Structure 1
Amino acid sequence: MSQTKNDTDLKVECINSLNSVQPSEWNALTQDNPFISHDFLLNLESSECLEPHGWFSYHLIIRKKNTLVAALPTYARNNSYGEFVFDWSWAEAYERAGGKYYPKLVSASPFSPVTGPRLLYNKDAEDYEAAKKKLVNAAQDICSTKGLSSWHTLFFKPSDLDFYKSQGLLIRLGVQYHWENHNFKNFAAFLTTLSSKRRKSIKRERKKIIDSGVKIEIIEGKDIKESHWDLFYTFYCSTFKKKWSQPRLNKKFFLNISNSKEYKPVLFLAKEGNQYVAGAFALATEQCLYGRHWGATTFNEYLHFELCYYQTIEYCIKNKIGKLDAGAQGEHKLKRGFHPVKTYSAHLIIEEGFRSAISEFLMRETEAIEAYIDSL
């Protein structure tokens, strides 16, 4: 296929660190999504949260002359931990057939199941469509020349769905549960939108917390001191220890977050008497509150719901934030005013026979998920 002059002016590079790109030029392409921002991704890198867990930076960028016009945040991976689009069964099937599934290529925000832009580009640029196609071709070329089994783009924006389909990628459907703020005046106003049974259940759960003597503190942005992060990190690590697993993020990562100019961290801490017993961590923008991690050193049946759902909902109402994204999975959120939201990932499988098998699997899985969403 012949190239236009605009195509030939677009130069693809592969970089192994975001230090190679100025924050301002990268963030000009990210549509203000905090989890794909230069600050967030570089923090993961500089805090050494990536490589110990099998994330090796392999970002693709496109420059026209000296101007960054498109990018694809990408990582070479030797496992599937921290992706939240589960392909372990694909890896097992591929390797049973004699193939080598890892390493693979993944375009995502590590450890963050948050929908956002993945093909980063400037829509005002006249050749942004050519740049997007060039990124896809570059990812495919890397897989082919480096012997990688596949390329996976996780939690991309629905507005890019038709483009990925047009490039021949396989589409995987998922579902999460989000809460929307319909200009509620307060939490009581939100409760009026639920059935009587669900209103009573939530009121009962919240009363249990009050009766237990638990007090909630909310600390934001630069008001979060190192001592607060020390507390939260203990809670965060406790969640992984209970699952016989290792924390993905280290304390240095959390300490750096307080200095960000691109988003605001929020801590929700629970206290019994003089002792903190649990905490939840979220990132806030003007449009969305992203609930991310939580942990506790004591058992309280309703504390998770209070910190991660009810307190965050109240925070959204108070601060006029339009949406709460409380993370992956959790059908129990439906009873607490959340609603199902479709998520998407795109997959390029190099080996034709395996690609065909995955395509058939995805057809069946998509039908099942669509039927499930329709039943809610």
Structure 2
Amino acid sequence: MSSALTISTHSSIARIPAADWDRLAGGDPFTSHRFLAALEASGSVGPGSGWQPLHLTVERGGQVVGAAPLYAKSHSQGEYIFDHAWAEAYMRAGGRYYPKLQCAVPFTPATGPRLLAPDPGIRQALLSGMAQVAERAGCSGAHVTFCTETEAREGAEAGFLPRVTQQFHWLNRGYGSFDDFLAALSSRKRKAIRKERARAAEFGGTIRRLSGDDLRPDHWDAFWAFYQDTGSRKWGRPYLTRAFFDQIHDTMRDDILLVMAERDGQPIAGALNFIGPDALYGRYWGCLEDHAFLHFELCYHQAIDHAIAHGLSRVEAGAQGEHKLARGYEPVAIHSLHWVRDEGFLRALAGYLDQERAAMGQEIEALADWTPFRKG
């Protein structure tokens, strides 16, 4: 078999066989062919969205041996590792920051593989391919966000600049129940969470965890209303279309946990999670009524309940939110990779990121001291 590698770009995930892609994705729900296909088929990405698919594959001897979800971006929205200040500085210096290449899962601040290949040499080829595509297409550079720590290390060896930011994740230390988890907390924090859960239950209805065939179209109608309310307040307009939720119902409902609060048979709030091989990923929340602590119950405590019951190692509850700290979610490092064509800007960016990594390490260490766990 020939050892020569062929790198190709694809304007749609549909042009890449699902079996080839998923063999490399390794079970991650967000880099699965069906998730990325749902984004495209629903119009959530593609023309007019600022996310133009340009997925990479590496072939050897006619077989796909590597792949990466890649997009040409005309803005920096929906990425969650922000480079707005870089874009402004780049353009002030007379450059054109957009379009840029983004190796990422759109609208999804969840860590996972981005360079889909078991062979480190193929992962290096994917990074090299991104740089080549950026040069050929006149893009300012290429960015790989929410990648694994291994990918970040390998990317640094390939000339990409590593960046470290942080999120809050709940880590399962072998708890048999939510009470076991609470027993690991300080007395004051343990009492606060119990009181919070009791207050949340006072909304006057029931909370259900729905997955697989328990999910029905009317659940998505309700959640769409929740999502629109949250999206209009946070982003101006929701990123995802209504059709996206129909798509994931058809192709991914076994990978979904929808936590729904209902009163008198009517949904009033909900939280959407995706289930990975070893993690639960909280993605979207919304409500039609405000009730004390209901957000924390649906998004954080119910997620912990599910993770413990199903033996998952962690809950990733999305971007930002130091309020998660008091609820047992701990600061963890998040990795990304960045490369720009302009050598002067690349040097300046390297200096900035060196300082930022040092500061971020200190911040994560300081935040870890504020976790609610019993000391010693």
Q: What range describes the TM-score normalised by the shorter chain of this pair?
A: over 0.9
Residue 84 of structure 2: which of 83, 88, 91 is its match?
88
User: 2:188 aligned with 1:197, yes or no?
Assistant: yes
Match of 2:261 in 1: 270
TM-score between both structures, scaled by the size of structure 1 = 0.93
* CA spacing shift, 1:301–1:357, aligned 2, 3 Å: farther
CA drift of 1:254 comes to 1.0
Secondary structure, counterpart of 2:30 in structure 1: helix
Match of 1:45 in 2: 40
The 5 A counterparts of 1:1-376 are 6=3, 9-51=4-46, 52-121=48-117, 123=118, 128-243=119-234, 245-260=236-251, 264-376=255-367
What is the distance in 1 between the residues matched to 2:233 and 2:166? 26
* CA spacing shift, 1:65–1:263, aligned 2, 3 Å: farther
User: For each residue in 1:93-132, what CA deviation from the matched residue of structure 2 results, as whole angstroms up to 9, or x when unmatched?
Assistant: 11111111000000001111111111111x3xxxx34422
Letter aligned with residue 96 of structure 2 = K
What is the distance in 1 between the residues matched to 2:329 and 2:200? 21
Q: Which moved more, 1:38-47 or 1:244-253?
A: 244-253
CA contact under 8 A between 2:200 and 2:292: conserved in structure 1?
A: no
User: For each residue in 1:300-338, what CA deviation from the matched residue of structure 2 results, as whole angstroms up to 9, or x when unmatched?
Assistant: 231110000011111112222221111111111111111
4+ residue stretches of structure 1 with deviation over 4 A?
Answer: none
Unaligned runs of 5+ in 1: none
Letter aligned with residue 64 of structure 2 = L
Unaligned runs of 5+ in 2: 368-376
What is the distance in 1 between the residues matched to 2:116 and 2:312? 25
* CA spacing shift, 1:43–1:167, aligned 2, 3 Å: same
What is the distance in 1 between the residues matched to 2:122 and 2:170? 35
What is the distance in 1 between the residues matched to 2:264 and 2:169? 33
CA contact under 8 A between 1:222 and 1:258: conserved in structure 2?
A: no
Q: Which moved more, 1:80-89 or 1:253-262?
A: 253-262
CA contact under 8 A between 1:277 and 1:298: conserved in structure 2?
A: yes
CA drift of 1:244 comes to 5.8
Letter aligned with residue 74 of structure 2 = N
Secondary structure, counterpart of 1:134 in structure 2: helix
CA drift of 1:277 comes to 1.3
What is the distance in 1 between the residues matched to 2:234 and 2:81? 19
Secondary structure, counterpart of 2:251 in structure 1: coil
CA drift of 1:262 comes to 8.7
Secondary structure, counterpart of 1:111 in structure 2: coil
What is the distance in 1 between the residues matched to 2:235 and 2:257? 27
User: For each residue in 1:17-38, what CA deviation from the matched residue of structure 2 results, as whole angstroms up to 9, or x when unmatched?
Assistant: 1111111111111121111011
CA contact under 8 A between 2:259 and 2:271: conserved in structure 1?
A: yes
CA contact under 8 A between 1:14 and 1:60: conserved in structure 2?
A: yes
CA drift of 1:221 comes to 1.4
Q: Which moved more, 1:290-299 or 1:206-215?
A: 206-215
Secondary structure, counterpart of 1:53 in structure 2: coil
What is the distance in 1 between the residues matched to 2:190 and 2:124? 49
The alignment-based identity, stated in percent, is 38
* CA spacing shift, 1:320–1:130, aligned 2, 3 Å: closer
Letter aligned with residue 13 of structure 1 = S
What is the distance in 2 between the residues matched to 1:135 and 1:191? 44
What is the distance in 1 between the residues matched to 2:28 and 2:177? 27
CA drift of 1:161 comes to 2.5
TM-score between both structures, scaled by the size of structure 2 = 0.93
What is the distance in 2 between the residues matched to 1:210 and 1:19? 44
What is the distance in 2 between the residues matched to 1:129 and 1:229? 40
What is the distance in 2 between the residues matched to 1:184 and 1:244? 37
CA drift of 1:261 comes to 5.5
Secondary structure, counterpart of 1:151 in structure 2: strand
User: For each residue in 1:277-297, what CA deviation from the matched residue of structure 2 results, as whole angstroms up to 9, or x when unmatched?
Assistant: 111001113411111100011
CA contact under 8 A between 1:271 and 1:277: conserved in structure 2?
A: yes
